[in-house]
């Protein structure tokens, strides 16, 4: 038998063994469910949920179905993940640069922070931040007031809500225009720095939109502020907890990537007369990014999974809404857990694919 044939034979055996094991366990589950008189099926997703989701970005009402609850919770998870990824990256970069700065105070601070953060349990940190945030904020009847319609208290940050067709259109178009311009900046031959031009344009658009909108200001009625938009303290605590924890790991990844760039690059940049700041921004970081992306991908995937810890502090994400409330109400343990795993797998595969695409784009092109 040729070695190729042998390899093929082994692979066939491996596939058969795996398939047998999977079929055995699937059969085991089906039989045992039948023996215990437990039904299996996803029909329950269309049943009415009947419970409230305290914080939701997608539309939610108690009369919606369990399926919609999964969607609403998934959006909440994605929202928290996005915030945490941005915050953790910024914090991580800051910590890494402090650690490499050569300034004794900055180096010491960064090192101490990283060690403390990454050597204590993450759940503990999140709960700690939650109660720290709650303790720091004033009680509801002594809210911090900014202007006449922005309130900050232990229940959250209350902002006036804008509405109106014209407002929707102008804000939507401003965002779209600015994002497209930012992506195509070099291709349309703009020479001015993006960051100097685009933010003012966006702000101008939003201000114009603001004049056309109807504003619904929050006001204290009975137990709570009514009207407006509310940013709950839970999202703040979760964002702090997850991003600070992960930033310690990202900082070490970035530091490793920067140290991995040959010293000659820095010396060459200096000899060309670049300042240390520009050397870092224009020469070192772009090259370090190439080494950085694979470990950074893992950290981002960890962040997405870590948002489930929000269940401990009342942030309504997938685990809490689906694997707790829906599981208990419907009694469909296997189906619900399969769905939750599937959703996380899907989110993480997409995130991973995006990071890999970025990695391929940055990789050295066969020089």
Partner 1 sequence: MTSLPARVLRAGRIALAAGAAVFLSGAIAKAQVAPPPGPTVEAMKKRGALNCGIDTGVPGFAFQDNKGVWHGIDIDYCRAIAAAVLGDPDKVKYTGTTAAARFTVLQAGEIDVLIRDSTLTFTRSTVLGLDEVAVNFYAGQGFLVRKSVGVTKAAELQGATICVITGATLELNIADFARSTGAKIGTLLFDKPEEAIAAMEAGRCDGYTDDSGSLAGMRSTLKNPDDWFVMPELISKEPLGLHARSGDPRWQKILFWIDNALKSAEEFGVTKANADQLKASSKDPFILRLLGAEGDTGKALGLDETWALRAIKVAGNYGEMYETHFGPKALNLPRGLNNLYTHGGLHYPLPIR
Q: How far is the CB of 316 from partner 1 (least distance, A)?
A: 6
Nearer to partner 1, 132 or 208 (CB): 132
- Whether residue 209 contacts residue 170, with contact meaning beta carbons closer than 8 Å, is answered with yes
User: Residue 186 to residues 49, 190, 224: CA-CA distances in angstroms?
Assistant: 49, 6, 49
Q: Residue 144: enclosing H or E segment and its boundaries?
A: strand 144-146
Q: How far is the CB of 131 from partner 1 (least distance, A)?
A: 6
- Whether residue 315 contacts residue 238, with contact meaning beta carbons closer than 8 Å, is answered with yes
Closest CA to 329 of 44, 42, 57: 44
Q: How far is the CB of 215 from partner 1 (least distance, A)?
A: 21
Q: How far is the CB of 323 from partner 1 (least distance, A)?
A: 7
- Whether residue 231 contacts residue 156, with contact meaning beta carbons closer than 8 Å, is answered with yes
Closest CA to 315 of 62, 84, 6: 84
Q: How far is the CB of 74 from partner 1 (least distance, A)?
A: 16
> What are the residues binding partner 1 (CB under 8 A)?
35-39, 50-52, 54, 62, 127, 130-131, 134-135, 139-140, 154-155, 221-224, 226, 233-234, 311-314, 316, 320-321, 323-325, 327-333
Nearer to partner 1, 163 or 224 (CB): 224
Instruction: List Cβ neighbours of 282 (8 Å cut-off, separation of 6 or more).
Output: 269, 274
Q: Count the Cβ atoms, other than its own, within 10 Å of residue 9.
A: 11
Nearer to partner 1, 255 or 332 (CB): 332
Cα–Cα distance, 322 to 110 (Å, whole number): 39
Nearer to partner 1, 30 or 112 (CB): 30
Q: How far is the CB of 181 from partner 1 (least distance, A)?
A: 41
Nearer to partner 1, 127 or 343 (CB): 127
Token pair of 274, please?
A: 């670049």
Closest CA to 343 of 305, 313, 312: 305
Q: How far is the CB of 315 from partner 1 (least distance, A)?
A: 9
What angle separates helix 66-100 from helix 104-118, to the nearest 10 degrees?
150
Q: How far is the CB of 254 from partner 1 (least distance, A)?
A: 33
Cα–Cα distance, 352 to 297 (Å, whole number): 6
Closest CA to 10 of 25, 21, 2: 2
Q: Residue 328: enclosing H or E segment and its boundaries?
A: helix 327-330
Nearer to partner 1, 69 or 98 (CB): 69
Nearer to partner 1, 59 or 267 (CB): 59
Q: Residue 81: enclosing H or E segment and its boundaries?
A: helix 66-100
In the structure, how many helices (H) and strands (E) does the chain have?
13, 8
Cα–Cα distance, 26 to 23 (Å, whole number): 5
Q: How far is the CB of 240 from partner 1 (least distance, A)?
A: 16
Nearer to partner 1, 154 or 362 (CB): 154
Nearer to partner 1, 22 or 62 (CB): 62
Nearer to partner 1, 61 or 267 (CB): 61
Q: How far is the CB of 105 from partner 1 (least distance, A)?
A: 35
Residue with the two structure tokens 């809500």: 161
């Amino acid at each position: 038998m040729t070695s190729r044939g042998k390899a093929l034979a082994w692979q066939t055996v491996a596939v058969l063994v795996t398939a047998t094991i999977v079929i055995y366990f699937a059969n085991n589950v089906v039989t045992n469910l039948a023996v215990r008189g437990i039904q299996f099926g996803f029909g329950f997703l269309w049943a009415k949920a009947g419970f409230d989701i305290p914080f939701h970005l997608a539309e939610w009402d108690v009369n919606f179905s369990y399926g919609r609850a999964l969607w609403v919770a998934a959006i909440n998870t994605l929202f928290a993940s996005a915030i945490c990824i941005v915050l953790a990256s910024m914090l991580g970069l800051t910590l890494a640069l402090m650690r490499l700065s050569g300034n004794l105070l900055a180096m010491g601070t960064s090192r101490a922070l990283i060690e403390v953060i990454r050597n204590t349990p993450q759940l503990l940190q999140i709960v700690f931040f939650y109660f720290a945030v709650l303790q720091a904020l004033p009680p509801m009847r002594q809210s911090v007031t900014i202007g006449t319609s922005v309130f900050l208290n232990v229940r959250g940050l209350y902002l006036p809500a804008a509405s109106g067709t014209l407002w929707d259109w102008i804000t939507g178009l401003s965002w779209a225009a600015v994002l497209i311009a930012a992506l195509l900046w070099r291709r349309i031959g703009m020479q001015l720095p993006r960051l100097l031009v685009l933010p003012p344009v966006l702000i101008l658009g939003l201000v114009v939109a603001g004049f056309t909108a109807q504003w619904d200001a929050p006001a204290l009625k009975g137990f709570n502020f009514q009207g407006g938009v509310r940013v709950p303290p839970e999202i703040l605590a979760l964002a702090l907890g997850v991003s600070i924890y992960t930033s310690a790991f990202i900082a070490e990844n970035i530091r490793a990537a920067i140290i991995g760039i040959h010293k000659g690059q820095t010396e060459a940049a200096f000899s060309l007369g670049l300042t240390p700041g520009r050397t870092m921004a224009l020469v070192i970081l772009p090259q370090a990014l190439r080494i950085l992306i694979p470990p950074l991908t893992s950290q981002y995937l960890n962040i997405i999974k870590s948002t489930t810890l929000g269940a401990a502090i009342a942030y309504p994400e997938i685990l809490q809404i689906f694997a707790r409330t829906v599981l208990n109400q419907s009694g469909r343990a296997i189906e619900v857990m399969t769905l939750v795993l599937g959703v996380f797998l899907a989110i993480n595969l997409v995130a991973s694919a995006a990071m890999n695409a970025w990695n391929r784009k940055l990789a050295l092109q066969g020089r």
